[in-house]
Amino acid sequence: MIETNVAFSKRMFYDAEMSQRVDVDTVVIGSGAGGLTAALALANAGQKVLVLEQHYLPGGWCHSFSLSGYRFSPGVHYIGELQPGGRMRRLYEGLGLGEMTFCELNPDGYDHVLIGGERFDFPRGKQKLTDRLCARFPHEQKGIRGYLDTVDRMGRELDELFEIKGIRDVLTIPFRAPTVARWGLATAESLIRHHVKDPILAGILAAQSGDHGLPPSMSPAPVHASVTAHYFEGGYYPRGGAAALPRAYIKALRKAGGEIRVRATVDKILIEDRRAIGVRLDDGSEIRARNVISNADPHVTYGRLVGAEHLSRGLRRKLGKTRYSVSALSLFMATDLDVRAAGMDSGNYWYYPTADVEGIYKTGLTGWGPEIRDLPGMFLTCTTLKDPSKLHNGHHTMEAFTFVGYDAYQAWESSKMGERPEAYNRIKVELLDRMLETASRIVPGLRERVVFADLGTPLTNVHYCAATGGNLYGTEKSRWQVGPWAFPVRTEIAGLTLCGSSTLSHGVMGAALSGLVAAREVTGARIAELLHKRGGPINLVPSEDMASWPAALRRNIRSRPEAEEHASA
């Protein structure tokens, strides 16, 4: 088990520029993908870095936890671009995180879309996806090719534009990224409808909206395109669950001389003369630093940790207008059902009872409650088919999510975890029942074979991830909150930098890229210079064929007691 609550070395040194003694070069608030990426990049560059995490588990949305002996990972369900040459692979290997193992989801269907009684499987490879869609919808072949080519071009152009700093950069977009310029202010709905007319096909092309959380009519076309393009070369799941990511980061961080504390809640970012000079913890202790990087969302960072008195009028106005992404009900369960015999594989399942994907996601934005008999939709995945080494006592673990607004839970936000009122617990029981019922429509016979189940609500996300409104993706990724209108990595306060899903982009890769940019802002180095580590390569193994895994890996799995495997967060 990796111990993360290490004692912080209080060696101090004098900083001539700040005219004070400092404890570290950089303190990072939050250990999500953005914070850990920034911390490791800076430590690799020779800085003394300290990461502070308020939770008892590191990783932010990349953490894993145990319930009744079963292991769950609420925020990582698949990652794209890990194939040789892929951006995510280059990032991990460049930071020195090689030798991690990822399981490739079913290449013939990493996403299964169940829509209006029909099914479509997303295969790995843009050409295979094109061929399969054209075979299923021969009357839409021209539109399908045009749509996927546009998505591909937009995805590649966005690679070059992942940091847009302001209006000057925006003015260069027509020359640097013509496809993004063409569709930049359009919606995903208009992009899809421009190319295809068939309602089932349009629903299939919109089905991955759950990866950004907005109805197609509200999602910017570039955001939806970037999600689709991200998975063109398939989906991958970290062996050992999401916690394998922070585990690898922390190991590399310590090797580079950095440190991390858990159960370390930051009470204030210390500001002097319009400059961040460190942080104060909730126990009253202070840590002085040349730089502060916050992986917390903007309302936590600016509203609670900095304070309105240190913000410009424009920033206060921007905060007042900011909307956060949708939240979710999260079902964690274990079953003794033979899920493969029931028809499941390692791919994810997107369930839409009708082809009205737009209406389903609009319902998901509201604060609906147990009065809705039929859930608007569901994402279901079996983690022990993604990573067969996670099988526990012959039981499979599964995770299911359905979007819901925060409003219905706001009445209980002042209550504490473990002390919620009976009304809240009663609604949880009713909603858990609805979730199981819907999951059983995807996997017949599942409900009767569930041996463990628990439900998380938006309040659960607030408690464990300090997510404003229980949000899943940081700020809402609507048209006027992305790109040049998102919160910039560089802030108006000297010495304070942001990273995370409310800045450049969301998801594991978007947050990690924001961490790299934060490290670049702090050091002045180029991204290529920050990705200079040379370690072992990322290992890829097939989820669908554990027998083909390297013999040494299979022997290592067999030699580890299950209890140790499930405790190794």
**355: which 2 tokens?**
């082809």
Cβ–Cβ < 8 Å for 404, 458: yes
**Nearest CA-CA partner of 82 in 102, 105, 63:** 102
Task: Quickly state the pLDDT bin for 567 (edges 50, 70, 90).
Answer: very low
**Nearest CA-CA partner of 171 in 483, 477, 516:** 483
Answer whether residue 17 shows pLDDT above 60. Answer: no
* Cβ neighbours around 373 below 10 Å, total: 7
Cβ–Cβ < 8 Å for 31, 261: no
Q: What's the CA angle centered on 138, arms 135 and 139, to 5 degrees?
A: 165
The mean pLDDT of 431-444, rounded to a whole number, is 95
The three-state secondary structure class of 109 is: coil
- Please state, in angstroms and rounded to a whole number, the distance separating the CA atoms of residues 63 and 347: 21
CA 441 to chain centroid: 27
Task: Quickly state the pLDDT bin for 162 (edges 50, 70, 90).
Answer: low
**Interstrand relation of 70-72 and 65-67 (parallel, antiparallel or unpaired):** antiparallel
pLDDT (0 to 100) of residue 466: 87
Amino acid at 186: A
Cβ–Cβ < 8 Å for 20, 272: no
pLDDT (0 to 100) of residue 552: 81
State the burial class of residue 15 (Cβ atoms within 10 Å of its Cβ: 0-12, 13-18, 19+): middle
Between 485 and 165, the higher pLDDT residue: 485
| 452-473 pLDDT, tens digit each | 999 999 999 998 888 999 999 9
- Please state, in angstroms and rounded to a whole number, the distance separating the CA atoms of residues 284 and 279: 10
pLDDT (0 to 100) of residue 566: 32
Residue-wise over 446-477: b if at least 16 C-beta within 10 A, else e? bbebbeebbbbbbbbbbbbbbbbbbbbbbbbb
| 73-89 pLDDT, tens digit each | 999 999 999 999 999 99
Cβ–Cβ < 8 Å for 449, 337: yes
**270: which 2 tokens?**
């210390």
Cβ–Cβ < 8 Å for 75, 327: no
Name the packing angle between helices 33-44 and 244-255 (round to 10°).
20
- Please state, in angstroms and rounded to a whole number, the distance separating the CA atoms of residues 360 and 216: 10
- Please state, in angstroms and rounded to a whole number, the distance separating the CA atoms of residues 488 and 424: 37
| 376-428 pLDDT, tens digit each | 899 999 999 999 988 888 899 999 999 999 988 888 999 988 889 999 999 99
Name the packing angle between helices 357-364 and 199-206 (round to 10°).
40
- Please state, in angstroms and rounded to a whole number, the distance separating the CA atoms of residues 230 and 156: 10
- Please state, in angstroms and rounded to a whole number, the distance separating the CA atoms of residues 207 and 67: 30
pLDDT (0 to 100) of residue 569: 25
| 294-307 pLDDT, tens digit each | 999 999 999 999 99
What percent of the chain lies above the pLDDT cut of 90? Answer: 79
**Residue 409: φ, ψ to 5°:** -115, -5
Integer distance in angstroms from the first to the last C-alpha of the chain? 7
**Residue 311: φ, ψ to 5°:** -105, 150
- Please state, in angstroms and rounded to a whole number, the distance separating the CA atoms of residues 153 and 163: 18
| Total residue length of the chain | 569
pLDDT (0 to 100) of residue 408: 83
- The residues facing 395 across adjacent strands are 392
> What's the helix, strand, coil split of the chain in %, to 5?
40, 20, 40
* Cα atoms found within 13 Å of the Cα of residue 61, Cβ hemisphere only: 27
* Rg from Cα positions in the chain: 23
pLDDT (0 to 100) of residue 339: 96
- Please state, in angstroms and rounded to a whole number, the distance separating the CA atoms of residues 166 and 433: 48
Per the listing, tokens 């949305």 go with 61
**Nearest CA-CA partner of 254 in 533, 23, 559, 50:** 50
pLDDT (0 to 100) of residue 293: 98
Q: Give the max Cα distance, the chain.
A: 71
